[in-house]
Amino acid sequence: MIEEYFSKGGIMMYPLLFFSIVLTAVFIERMIFFALNRSSGKVLENAEHSFFKGDFKTALATLKNSKGAMEKVAAEIIIHINCSKHDLEHIAENRAISELQRFSRSLHLMDLIGRISPMVGLSGTVLGMVKAFQSISAQKGAVDPSILAGGIWESLLTTVFGLMVGIPALIIFHIFENELSKKALTIKLKSEEMIRRAGACVD
C-alpha cells in the first residue's frame, strides 16, 4: 500500500524519500555518538574529589580516557591550572565550544528537513492539483466528480508525507537541542566552580 501511495504522490515524493533517509541516518549516527560520548557522573565525582584536594595528577588521570564533554573541559582546566583566572575562563570556554560543536554536528540537517519537508509536500500538492484541473478542463461535456475527487486526494498525498517526515524531524531536533542545552549548562556551572576554586587549590 505504501508503494502505491508513493507512486501516486508524484515526483515530489522522491525528495521526501531522500529527506527521510537522511533524517534516519543522522538520527542513528547522533544516537550512537551521544551514547559513546556520554559523561560519567562517577568519573566526574572522583576527578572533582581529587581536584579539590589539590591532587591534579590523579584528577587528570581519572579523566584521561573519558569521552564526555564535561570531562574534556575539566581536563583542559587541570592542564592549564597555573594560568590566571581570566586565561582559564578563556581556555574552558574555547574547549566547551569545541566539545558542544562535536555534539551538535549534523543536527542542523534535522532542523532543515523538519522545516522544508512540509513545504516540499505542499509543492507536490499544488502541482498535483494543477494537473488534476488540467485533466478536467481537457474533458468535454459534464465533469465526473469522482475524477476530480480522485485527483485531489492523490495530490494531497505529498502534503501528508511531507508532514510525516517534517514533524518527527523537528521533534527529534528539539530533543537533541534540549540535551545540548543541558550539557552546556552543566559545563558552565562545573567549569565556573573549578576555576573559582582553582586559586585556593593551587595555593
| DSSP classification of residue 81 | T
**Would you say residue 24 has pLDDT above 80?**
yes
Cell of 14: 522522491
% the chain with pLDDT above 70? 89
Tell me what the mean pLDDT of segment 119-124 comes to.
92
How many structural domains are present in the chain?
A: 1
Contact of 75 with 190, CB cutoff 8 Å: no
- pLDDT tens figures, 183-196: 999 999 999 988 88
Residue 151's closest CA among 13, 9, 14? 9
Tell me what the mean pLDDT of segment 172-192 comes to.
94
What is the pLDDT, as a whole number, of residue 141?
Answer: 59
Confidence label for 96 from pLDDT (cuts 50, 70 and 90): very high
What is the pLDDT, as a whole number, of residue 120?
Answer: 94
What is the pLDDT, as a whole number, of residue 203?
Answer: 47
Q: Which amino acid is at 32?
A: I
| DSSP classification of residue 39 | -
3 state DSSP class of 141: coil
CA distance 125 to 149: 13
CA distance 113 to 27: 12
Average pLDDT of every residue of the chain: 87
- pLDDT tens figures, 56-67: 899 899 988 888
Contact of 75 with 64, CB cutoff 8 Å: yes
Domain coverage including residue 94: 2-202
- pLDDT tens figures, 131-158: 777 777 766 656 666 666 666 777 788 8
Q: Number of helices (H) and strands (E) in the chain: give both, helices first.
A: 8, 0
What is the pLDDT, as a whole number, of residue 85?
Answer: 86
Considering only residues 2 and 17, tell me which one the structure prediction assigns the higher pLDDT.
Answer: 17
